[in-house]
């Protein structure tokens, strides 16, 4: 969801037309144009009272009204975009199980497989985007240009197999082929945003502060990881970092590193998140960590890491806590964590 505040002289029809034009430009953009057609984009324009810029309360009420209108649109819209009919399609996509399988795509462990155009385009966007995500964040990070230029040259692993390939020979057997799934979630960030976003200017300032904090966090995180020589590997002469970003947005993040690096990674993350402040409030994160086999189902492993982070939140929201679970086998247990260990 994105909120756009326009000049007070802009009428509703003009605002609606402007937002629709922005959407069309995004569709034509080479970077996002391939994936946006597979998504549903809803546009709502809601007028602000004349004194909303200075009168606390009007802006959040208007934003909530616009959000409610968007929710109504969602209920009236199909949750998927219907593809064009293709008479050559004989089966549905094996991944999304919704769209016709029409496009040949290479799947790890399966080779060339027919998938839907939506899956093909989104997977391609993800593979290319995760290599560029850090570079995009570096461009706005409040750090030195020298650091930005150095980190911008980084290349990251393209698969879980690459993360554990050619691991250090002195590792204990129990650590071989193990991954660490690390889920970060902010504590009460929505509540803190609501306190700051009483006016449009307050919302903009708070969003900018959080954006700067996250950019600086990722920059410092990667700078520290780069100092660990064992975190690199050289497939075919190309030096890569054993690090993947599976989610990056809002107050949530999801990273994957080798299992043997889990504790060191946790220490680096906690250090990089220290002293976060916005709107004169300290900001804290809950962290869930799952150490599992590289062949463990990633969907269940991610869900378990998220459940552990939620469990950490229940312990305390006024500090940053970490919950860790180590899985011996490939199977992942039920993600509904019913216990808490607070220390």
pLDDT at 74: 86
Instruction: Show the CA angle centred on residue 164, arms to residues 127 and 262, nearest 5°.
Output: 95
Cα–Cα distances in angstroms (integers) from residue 42 to residues 20, 222, 227, 245, in the given order: 10, 35, 44, 27
How far is residue 48's CA from residue 54's CA, in Å, rounded to a whole number? 12
What is the CB neighbour count within 10 angstroms for residue 56? 11
DSSP for 118-177, written as a single string = HHHHHHHHHHHHHHHHHHHHHTT-SS-HHHHHHHTT--B-SSHHHHHTT--TTS-GGGTT
Whole-prediction pTM: 0.81
For residue 274, the SS3 value is: coil
For every one of its 343 residues, what pLDDT tens digit does the chain have, with 9 covering 90 and above? 555 555 555 566 666 676 677 666 666 665 666 777 777 777 777 777 666 556 666 778 888 888 898 899 888 888 777 777 778 888 888 888 888 898 999 887 788 999 998 899 888 888 877 777 776 676 666 667 777 777 777 888 888 988 988 766 677 777 888 999 999 999 988 888 888 888 888 888 888 899 888 888 888 888 899 888 889 888 777 788 999 999 888 789 999 999 999 999 999 999 999 889 988 889 999 999 999 999 999 999 999 999 999 999 988 888 899 999 999 888 887 766 555 555 4
In sequence order, what are the residues at sequence separation of 6 or more whose Cβ sits closer than 8 angstroms to the Cβ of residue 225?
231, 241, 243, 257, 265, 268
How far is residue 341's CA from residue 318's CA, in Å, rounded to a whole number? 16
How far is residue 26's CA from residue 343's CA, in Å, rounded to a whole number? 47
Alpha-helical runs (H) found in the chain: 12-28, 58-75, 117-138, 145-151, 160-164, 189-196, 200-225, 262-273, 298-315
HSE-CB at 73 with a 13 A cutoff on CA atoms is 12
Q: How far is CA 29 from the centre of its chain?
A: 21
Cα–Cα distances in angstroms (integers) from residue 185 to residues 29, 59, 62, 120, 182, in the given order: 31, 26, 27, 29, 10
How far is residue 307's CA from residue 302's CA, in Å, rounded to a whole number? 9
């Amino acid at each position: 969801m994105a909120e756009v505040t326009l000049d007070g002289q802009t009428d509703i029809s003009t605002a609606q037309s402007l937002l629709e034009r922005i959407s069309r430009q995004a569709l034509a953009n080479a970077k996002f144009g391939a994936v946006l057609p597979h998504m549903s984009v809803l546009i709502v324009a809601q007028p602000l009272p004349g004194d909303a810029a200075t009168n606390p309360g009007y802006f959040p009420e208007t934003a909530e009204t616009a959000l409610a209108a968007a929710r109504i649109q969602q209920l009236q819209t199909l949750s998927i975009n219907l593809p064009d009919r293709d008479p050559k399609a004989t089966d549905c996509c094996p991944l999304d199980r919704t769209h016709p399988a029409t496009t040949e795509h290479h799947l790890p462990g399966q080779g060339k497989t027919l998938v839907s155009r939506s899956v093909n385009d989104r997977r391609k966007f993800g593979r290319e985007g995760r290599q560029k995500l850090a570079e995009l964040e570096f461009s706005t990070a409040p750090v030195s240009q020298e650091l930005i230029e150095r980190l911008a040259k980084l290349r990251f692993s393209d698969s879980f197999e690459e993360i554990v390939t050619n691991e250090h020979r002195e590792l204990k057997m129990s650590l071989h082929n193990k991954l660490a799934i690390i889920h970060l979630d902010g504590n009460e960030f929505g509540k803190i945003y609501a306190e700051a976003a009483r006016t449009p200017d307050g919302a903009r300032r708070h969003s900018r502060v959080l954006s700067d904090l996250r950019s600086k966090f990722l920059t410092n995180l990667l700078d520290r990881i780069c100092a660990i020589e064992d975190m690199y590997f050289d497939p075919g002469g190309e030096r890569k970092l054993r690090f993947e970003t599976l989610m990056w947005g809002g107050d949530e993040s999801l990273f994957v590193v080798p299992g043997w690096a889990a504790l060191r990674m946790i220490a680096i993350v906690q250090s990089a998140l220290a002293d976060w402040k916005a709107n004169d409030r300290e900001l804290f994160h809950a962290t869930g960590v799952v150490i599992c086999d590289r062949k463990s189902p990633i969907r269940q492993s991610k869900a378990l890491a998220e459940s552990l982070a939620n469990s950490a939140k229940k312990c305390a929201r006024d500090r940053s806590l970490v919950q860790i679970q180590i899985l011996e086998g490939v199977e992942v247990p039920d993600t509904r964590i019913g216990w808490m260990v607070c220390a």
